[in-house]
A and B are shown apart, each in its own frame.
Chain A
C-alpha cells in the first residue's frame, strides 16, 4: 500500500535556524507530493507541492525537492521564524485509482525567539 513516514517531533529551533523535516514515502504508483501546514487552532493549508521527479516546490521560504531515487520529499527552510511554529504534514496522492491524500503522522515545529 501507500504510506508516508515523517520524522517524529517536536522539533525545537531558535529563530533564524535552519530547518529540515524529513519525509519518505512508499507508493504503488507514481505520486504527487505535498506539504501541508496546520497552525494552532486551524485546519490544514497547502504549503507546497511537486508533481514529478526533480520538481522543487517552494512557498514562504520553504522548499522541498521530489527525489524519486530516494523516495523522499524533505522540507527545508533557511531561516525559521516564530510564526512558523505549527504542525507540518507530508502527503502523497496517486494519479490513478483512489485519488485521496495519504498523510504522514505530522511533525510539530516549535520556534523559540
Chain B
C-alpha cells in the first residue's frame, strides 16, 4: 500500500514563527503536492513538485515556500506564520498515472 505520512497531526504556533510541515511518501513517486483545506473552499493547491529540487507555484503560494531535497520528502515552510494560515494542510503524492494519494493532514493553529 502507498503510504504518505505527515510529521504532525496537530500544531499550535505563534504569529511570526517559522513553521515546517514535513511529508514523506514511500512509493518513489515523482510528483508531490501541498494543499490547504478550508471549510467551504475545498482543497487549494499551494505548491507542487515534479522532481527533486523542482517546484512550481500552485494557486495560493503567497506566504509559503517548499523544499524537495530528496525524492521521498516534500516540506512546506511558513516563513512567518500568520493567523490567516490557520488551516488543515494536506500532502499528496502521485504516480505516473492520475491517482493522488493523500496523507492524514496537519491541522495548524496560528495564535
A contacts, CB < 8 Å to B:
4, 6, 32, 34, 36, 41-46, 49, 51, 89, 93, 98-106
Contacts and interface: CB of A to CB of B under 8 A. Distances in A.
B42 A104 contact: yes
Size bracket, chain B contacts: 20 to 34
Question: Which residue, A36, A45, A101, has most C-beta atoms of chain B within 10 A?
Answer: A101
Interface in B17-50: 31, 33, 35, 40-45, 48
A93 B42 contact: no
A99 B97 CA distance: 10
Contacts, number: 50
Contact of A93 (B43, B44, B98): B98
Q: DSSP majority for the A interface?
A: strand
Contacts of A93: 98
B41 A105 contact: yes
A44 B43 CA distance: 10
A19 B43 CA distance: 23
B58 A100 contact: yes
B90 A100 contact: no
Interface string B61-101: 00000000000000000000000000000101000001111
